[in-house]
Amino acid sequence: MIKNYKKEIILASNSPRRKEFFELFNIPFTIKAFEIKENYPTKLKGALIARYIAEKKATPFKSIIKKNQIVITADTIVWHQNKYLGKPKSRIEALEMLNSLSGKTHKVITAVGFLTFNNFKCIDVTTEVTFKKLNKSLIEDYINKQNPYDKAGAYGIQESIGILGISNINGSYTNVVGLPVAEVIDEIEKH
């Protein structure tokens, strides 16, 4: 899809979903990610949280990036009732998150950072997602059989709870999966 691209693309993410998107669209890349704590100043809200973490993920590369490279970082959050929902750390937390999303609309926000030798740019994309009222057995079955622990808000739109539970989506589907692909490709082509 991206033809004759001159820069070496480094995807600074261990997300299998982001990797799959790059492979699906034949974007040449390598993966290199540093472990960082995904914490942020408590005064930040919504997209500013995702932007802060995406830039934090780029920070270790700032001293080692070469002129022919672009490092792409990303962070996806769920913003619900003026509250940040990241990846659940326990079964109880996953249950609480899914119960709080049940029957309501929330925002999925992904910030994507583009670090080059000369600068850092960040974009963010927001998608509104509405869950129907989720019954207890659907939530329990999902937590027992799939992995809610590596996903913001404790769910994957492409998994059973998303397929059966989401009644409406307003915006980018790929954003909810973890990477707003159309916007990312546009930015790569600008560089």
Domains with residue ranges and CATH for the chain: 8-190 (3.90.950.10)
Q: Give pLDDT, residue 3.
A: 58
Q: Give alpha helix (H) positions in the chain.
A: 16-24, 47-58, 91-101, 136-145, 160-165, 173-177, 181-190
Q: In the chain, which residues have pLDDT < 70?
A: 1-5
Burial of 1 (0-12, 13-18, 19+ CB in 10 A): exposed
**What is the distance in angstroms between the CA of the first residue and the CA of the last residue of the chain?**
15
d(CA 55, CA 121): 9
Residue pLDDT, tens place only, 43-83: 999 999 999 999 999 999 999 999 999 999 999 999 999 99
75 is catalytic: yes
Q: Which of 75, 124, 150, 186 is catalytic?
A: 75
Q: Give pLDDT, residue 1.
A: 55
Residue pLDDT, tens place only, 142-152: 999 998 998 99
Q: Give pLDDT, residue 191.
A: 76
Q: Which residue has the tokens 């930015």?
A: 187
Q: Give pLDDT, residue 27.
A: 84
